[in-house]
Amino acid sequence: MQQLIECVPNFSEGVDLKLIKEITDQIEMVSGVRLLNVDPGKATNRTVVTFVGTPEAVVEAAFSAIKKAGELIDMQNHKGEHPRMGATDVCPLIPIANISMEETAAWAKKLAEKVGTELQLPIYLYEAAQEKKERNNLSVIRAGEYEGFFKKIKEPEWKPDFGPAEFDAKRGATVIGARDFLVAYNVNLNTTSTRRANAIAFDVREAGRKIKNEKGEEVVQPGSLKCVKAIGWFIEEYGIAQISINLTNINVTPVHIAFDEVCKKANERGIRVTGSELVGLIPLKSILDAGKYFLKKQKRSLGISEKELIKIAVKSLGLDELNPFNPNEKIIEYMLQDKADSKLISMQLNDFADETASESPAPGGGSIAAYMGALGASLATMVANLSSHKKGWDNRWEEFSNWAERGENCKNELLKFVDLDTKAFNQIMNAMSLPKTTDKEKLDRKNAIQAATKFAIEVPFKVMQTTFNSLEVIKAMAQLGNPNSVSDAGVGALCARSAVMGAFLNVRINAAGYDDKNFVDEIIAKGKEIESKTISLENEILKIVNEKIGC
């Protein structure tokens, strides 16, 4: 399992796109990393770059980008709305896959030491990479900003963790660390007042504001949201004030909760939120959760497609107010996905049929079985959604929404198997084409064929399991759903039965070529049981359907 780290360096240049590209070119030259997003801001005069890759490659790319930024950016001439202290202001590493925070912090320290030593740049560690609690907060480290650091760096308690204790007038200083996934998020206001924007920011941010108690003592009044940092500023580019928010733990305070709370606090001060914008990337789950949150407030079914959930989230949060919101460029999973993994399900229906009918052996019966299962689950989901919104059934919307979500989950899983079954077939073909001249080559080829064959057994078996699970939704919709759509539930049952039986044919034909007979006997026995239960359930569903149709 490959380890993946995300890196999100912030460079103090947001206007000169040619200069920015010279920096990002350094990142793209490194093998093993993928540049995901470049987000320049004119008013902040700052660009947030996002790339991902293996730890070694990320460190190499980050080093090259920091070096180039130091050569091109002169902090003596820098002006911008965002707090900053260096040409590369901050460079966090974030664990993405198969790597712990501790390991990520170790890589951050390696990068910091390399930059400090080889580039002779003052470097401060923060968050998980910083052992001293009193200086692990970015805002505390950056306090005083570029202009104040000439004096600050001479103070013993602010000696850099790496590099010289001399402030570099041209390059400034850089903060490097390891942190959890952070969402940078701005909320737009119908005011130009920075003071009022700041007041709202203080209302919501965890750090709150300083006030005097009844004794005249200065105390901190916490804000209403945990794991939230926020300030107010005026964006000349848009002619509005914004609340600039960092969501440091989106499991504690997700985007939609932050948005609604800012709306509430703004309204209390006579100000209206007009929309918002994301800086950099966001996890898919955050957007989907937002879509579901707003649908639930409307008492609408949550069992709709991923595409529709994203659309609801974007419109509800106003993410497209200032600039178009392109999910393929803003959602991290979409940026990382390989289009080859969804080649078949991305086709138009006629192209998919033509591809199936062609002389190519794939897609074959396994992919078609998975697609039939997806269609069966889709029909059940449709009935659930229609029932959730049926006039006079308003008090049952949540019941049918839950069924719709279950059906939607089954559908999404089965769609993945459409391409995965073809991939399994191709893996067998690739294994069989391996050289077989020497004894070692013959053994390696045999092992590869066996591994690919096992995979080709497991994929259609999972199609059987997922499709069987969808039958519970189909039956419930035949029994409880909108009676005008009962025939759709019946067709869904027919699709599901065909999908299970078709997938089982693929399990059996691939099992014939697998040497582990214990595995084969066990999976065939399980397959027969699923097939038998499926046929029985189909008969029950069709009986319900036929009785309701009545003729």
Give the relative orientation of helices 101-118 and 55-72 as an angle to the nearest 10 degrees: 40
Q: Is 82 a catalytic residue?
A: yes
Do 74 and 170 form a contact (C-beta atoms < 8 A)? yes
Selected catalytic residue, list 39, 82, 203, 488: 82
Helix and strand numbers, DSSP H then E, in the chain: 17, 13
Q: What is the pLDDT of residue 261?
A: 98
What is the C-alpha separation between 13 and 97, in angstroms, rounded? 30
What is the C-alpha separation between 90 and 146, in angstroms, rounded? 13
pTM given for the model = 0.79
CATH of 183-336 among 3.40.980.10, 3.40.50.720, 3.30.70.670, 1.20.120.1750 = 3.30.70.670
Q: Is 16 a catalytic residue?
A: no
Is the pLDDT reported for residue 1 higher than 70? no
Closest CA to 475 of 500, 487, 493: 493
- Model pLDDT for residues 320-348, shown as the tens digit of each residue: 999 999 999 898 888 877 777 788 999 99
- Model pLDDT for residues 412-453, shown as the tens digit of each residue: 999 999 999 999 999 999 999 999 999 999 999 999 999 999
What is the C-alpha separation between 102 and 228, in angstroms, rounded? 23
Return the domain boundaries, the chain: 4-178, 183-336, 339-549
- Model pLDDT for residues 183-205, shown as the tens digit of each residue: 999 999 999 999 999 999 999 99
If you classify domain 339-549 with CATH, what class do you get? mainly alpha
CATH number of 4-178: 3.30.990.10
Burial class, 137, CB count within 10 angstroms (exposed 0-12 / middle 13-18 / buried 19+): middle
- Model pLDDT for residues 220-271, shown as the tens digit of each residue: 999 999 999 999 999 988 999 999 999 988 889 999 999 999 999 999 999 9
| Phi and psi torsions of 209, nearest 5° | -145, 160
Selected catalytic residue, list 39, 89, 161, 421: 421
Type and span of the H or E element at 427: helix 397-432
